[in-house]
C-alpha cells in the first residue's frame, strides 16, 4: 500500500481546524443577509460579530477595530495607501518604507506609486536594520506628508521574529504610521496590538486553520483609518463594502478561537517537533544550513539548504517522496525562483533553500518520516563541483 502524503507546508496554508469545520457547517443554515434587519439577518449578523470578537481577542484588540477582508493581500492593499482620514479630516501619507524581506503583498507597495516606496534593508542575520530605519525616517520629507512603515512580525520563509516593538518606537518618534504583518505570527506568538505599538495589524484566516477567503485589517483605534479600497454599500462600518463572506468569516473566527485557547499546548509541542527535526537533519546531512537558526524564530519553521541541491529540484524530489514542503514563500501562483529573503540577507541566491513548516496536527511519526526522506535525498546529491 502506498504511503500517505506528509504535509509540511503549514506556512503556505494550514489544514482546516475541526472547530472551523464544525462552525462552518452550522453556518450553512444561516442564509439571511447580515445587513438585513429581520430575524434571519440578525442571526447571521450575530454569528459574524462572534467571529469578530474571536479574531480581536487573538490580536489583543477591540472587536470594533476589526475590519474583515477577503484575505491578507486585500488588507495590505487597503492599508498601504497615501490617503488616510483622521476622523473627517484628510491626512496625507507621503512615503512608504517597507522591509526587504516582506511578503510581496506588502513589498509591492499597495496603492503607493513605486517612487514613493523605499526598502529597509536587513542584516545578514535576517533582522530588519533599525539603524537604517531611523536614518531613513530622520531625512523623511515631513512637509510632504507623514511616513508609513510596514514590517512583518515573523518572516514567512525563515520564521525569524522581527523587532517590531523597537521599530514602533522609532516610527512614533518620527511621527509615522506603523503597519505590522502578523500573518505568520498569529497563533504562534502572543499578539497584542497595543503592546506591539502598531497602528494596524494584518491577519489571515487560512494560516491559522480557517478557510481561505477571509482576513482582517485590525486597527489600534477607530479615528485614523485608510481610504476604503472597495466602495459600495458601506458594510464593515464603511471601511470595506460588499456583503460579508459569512461562511469564511465564521470559520475564521472559530479558528482564531482555537488558536487562542490552544496556544500554549500547540507551541510547546510544535517547538519540540521542530527541534527534533533539525537535530535529525544535522545527523542526516552534516553540511545542512539552517537559515536563521541562531535567531529567535516562530517555533514551527525550518528554512534550510542542502548544498548542491537546487530549490526546484529539491521540492520535486520531496514531492515524489510524498512530502509537501515549499521553496520559500507560496505567494506567486506556483512560481519558483530565488528567495528574495536570502538575497536580502546577503546569501548566495543560487542556494537551494527549502522550507518545512509544522502545525497543530504534525506528529512524532511525521518527523521520523521527514528525517528519513531528508537523509535519502541528501544521499542522492552529486559531489561538489558537479552540476545538479
**Confidence band of 348 (pLDDT split at 50, 70, 90):** confident
Sheet holding 289-291: strands in order across? 289-291, 301-305, 353-357
With a cut of 80, say whether residue 196 has pLDDT above it. yes
Closest of 165, 225, 175 to residue 200, by C-alpha: 225
With a cut of 70, say whether residue 388 has pLDDT above it. no
Least confident of 128-132, 145-149, 225-229, 384-388: 384-388
CA dihedral 77, 214, 195, 265 (to 10 degrees): -140
Are 271 and 375 part of one and the same domain?
yes
Closest of 144, 82, 91 to residue 114, by C-alpha: 82
Report how far apart, in Å, the C-alpha atoms of 31 and of each of 40, 48, 50, 246 are: 7, 13, 17, 9
Burial of 114 (0-12, 13-18, 19+ CB in 10 A): exposed
Are 78 and 97 part of one and the same domain?
yes
Catalytic residue among 43, 100, 331, 372: 331
Are 111 and 184 part of one and the same domain?
yes
Specify the pLDDT at position 3. 67
SS3 state at 52: helix
Specify the pLDDT at position 259. 98
Specify the pLDDT at position 336. 58
Specify the pLDDT at position 37. 96
Specify the pLDDT at position 120. 98
Note whether residue 384 is domain-resident. Answer: no
Specify the pLDDT at position 338. 74
- Residue where one domain finishes, among candidates 261, 295, 326: 261
Are 343 and 243 part of one and the same domain?
no
**Confidence band of 127 (pLDDT split at 50, 70, 90):** very high
Are 205 and 349 part of one and the same domain?
no
Share of the chain above pLDDT 70, in %: 95
- Residue where one domain finishes, among candidates 206, 229, 261: 261
Per-residue pLDDT, averaged over 217-240, amounts to 96
- Structural domain count of the chain: 2
Of residues 351 and 65, more confidence is placed in: 65
DSSP 8-state code for residue 85: E
Note whether residue 25 is domain-resident. Answer: yes
Pairwise CA distance, residues 323 & 9, whole Å:
9
Note whether residue 141 is domain-resident. Answer: yes
Note whether residue 385 is domain-resident. Answer: no
C-alpha cell at 154: 515573523
Q: How many CB atoms lie within 10 A of CB 47?
A: 21
Strand segments (E) across 83-122: 83-86, 89-99, 117-120
Distance of CA 372 to the CA centre of its chain: 29
C-alpha cell at 140: 523623511
Are 268 and 257 part of one and the same domain?
no
Are 68 and 173 part of one and the same domain?
yes
Is 331 designated active site? yes
Under 8 Å between Cβ of 50 and 63: no
Q: How many CB atoms lie within 10 A of CB 230?
A: 16
Note whether residue 211 is domain-resident. Answer: yes
Range of the domain at 225: 21-261
Are 88 and 237 part of one and the same domain?
yes
Note whether residue 387 is domain-resident. Answer: no
Per-residue pLDDT, averaged over 295-310, amounts to 96
Note whether residue 58 is domain-resident. Answer: yes
Pairing of strands 89-99, 117-120: parallel
pTM listed for this prediction: 0.94
Under 8 Å between Cβ of 315 and 356: no
How confident is the model over 157-175, as pLDDT tens digits?
999 999 999 999 999 999 9
Supply the mean pLDDT for the chain: 94
**Confidence band of 327 (pLDDT split at 50, 70, 90):** confident
- Residue where one domain finishes, among candidates 198, 229, 261: 261
Are 137 and 243 part of one and the same domain?
yes
Are 120 and 216 part of one and the same domain?
yes
Per-residue pLDDT, averaged over 307-326, amounts to 94
Burial of 387 (0-12, 13-18, 19+ CB in 10 A): exposed
Are 102 and 223 part of one and the same domain?
yes
Pairing of strands 6-7, 66-69: unpaired
Read off the CATH number of the domain in which 329 is found.
3.90.1150.10
Report how far apart, in Å, the C-alpha atoms of 381 and of each of 193, 327, 376, 385, 388 are: 46, 17, 9, 11, 8
Note whether residue 348 is domain-resident. Answer: yes
**Confidence band of 339 (pLDDT split at 50, 70, 90):** confident
With a cut of 70, say whether residue 204 has pLDDT above it. yes
Packing angle between helix 246-261 and helix 18-27, nearest 10 degrees? 150
Are 142 and 251 part of one and the same domain?
yes
Pairwise CA distance, residues 382 & 388, whole Å:
6
Of residues 168 and 338, more confidence is placed in: 168
How confident is the model over 231-264, as pLDDT tens digits?
999 999 999 999 999 999 999 999 999 999 999 9
**Confidence band of 346 (pLDDT split at 50, 70, 90):** confident
C-alpha cell at 129: 536594520
Residue length, the chain?
A: 388
Closest of 324, 325, 354, 323 to residue 339, by C-alpha: 354
How confident is the model over 14-30, as pLDDT tens digits?
999 999 999 999 999 99
Read off the CATH number of the domain in which 162 is found.
3.40.640.10
Amino acid at each position: 500500500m502506498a504511503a500517505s502524503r506528509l504535509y509540511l507546508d503549514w506556512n503556505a496554508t494550514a489544514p482546516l481546524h475541526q472547530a472551523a469545520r464544525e462552525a462552518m457547517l452550522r453556518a450553512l443554515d444561516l442564509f439571511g443577509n447580515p445587513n438585513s434587519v429581520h430575524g434571519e439577518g440578525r442571526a447571521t449578523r450575530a454569528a459574524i460579530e462572534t467571529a469578530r470578537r474571536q479574531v480581536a481577542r487573538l490580536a489583543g484588540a477591540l472587536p470594533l477595530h476589526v475590519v474583515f477582508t477577503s484575505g491578507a493581500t486585500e488588507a495590505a492593499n487597503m492599508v498601504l495607501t497615501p490617503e488616510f482620514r483622521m476622523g473627517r479630516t484628510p491626512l496625507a501619507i507621503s512615503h512608504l518604507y517597507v522591509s526587504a524581506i516582506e511578503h510581496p503583498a506588502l513589498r509591492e507597495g499597495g496603492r503607493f506609486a513605486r517612487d514613493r516606496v523605499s526598502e529597509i534593508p536587513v542584516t545578514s542575520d535576517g533582522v530588519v536594520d533599525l539603524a537604517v530605519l531611523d536614518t531613513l525616517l530622520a531625512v523623511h520629507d515631513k512637509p510632504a506628508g507623514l511616513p508609513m512603515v510596514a514590517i512583518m512580525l515573523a518572516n514567512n520563509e525563515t520564521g525569524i521574529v522581527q523587532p517590531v516593538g523597537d521599530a514602533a518606537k522609532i516610527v512614533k518618534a518620527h511621527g509615522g504610521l506603523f503597519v505590522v504583518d502578523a500573518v505568520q505570527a498569529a497563533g504562534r506568538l502572543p499578539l497584542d496590538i497595543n503592546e506591539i505599538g502598531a497602528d494596524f495589524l494584518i491577519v489571515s484566516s487560512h494560516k491559522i486553520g480557517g478557510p481561505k477567503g477571509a482576513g482582517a485589517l485590525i486597527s489600534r483605534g477607530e479615528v485614523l483609518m485608510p481610504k476604503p479600497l472597495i466602495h459600495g454599500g458601506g458594510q464593515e462600518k464603511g471601511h470595506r463594502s460588499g456583503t460579508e463572506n459569512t461562511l469564511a468569516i465564521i470559520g475564521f473566527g472559530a479558528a482564531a478561537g482555537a488558536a487562542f485557547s490552544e496556544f500554549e499546548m500547540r507551541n510547546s509541542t510544535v517547538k519540540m517537533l521542530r527541534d527534533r527535526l533539525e537535530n535529525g537533519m544535522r545527523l542526516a546531512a552534516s553540511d545542512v544550513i539552517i537559515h536563521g537558526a541562531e535567531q529567535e524564530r516562530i517555533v514551527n519553521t525550518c528554512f534550510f539548504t542542502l548544498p548542491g541541491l537546487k530549490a526546484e529540484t529539491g521540492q520535486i524530489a520531496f514531492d515524489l517522496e510524498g512530502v509537501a514542503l515549499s521553496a520559500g514563500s507560496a505567494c506567486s501562483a506556483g512560481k519558483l525562483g530565488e528567495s528574495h529573503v536570502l538575497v536580502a540577507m546577503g546569501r548566495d541566491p543560487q542556494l537551494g533553500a527549502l522550507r518545512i513548516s509544522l502545525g497543530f496536527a504534525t506528529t512524532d511519526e511525521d518527523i521520523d518520516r521527514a528525517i528519513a526522506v531528508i537523509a535519502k535525498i541528501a544521499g542522492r546529491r552529486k559531489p561538489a563541483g558537479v552540476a545538479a
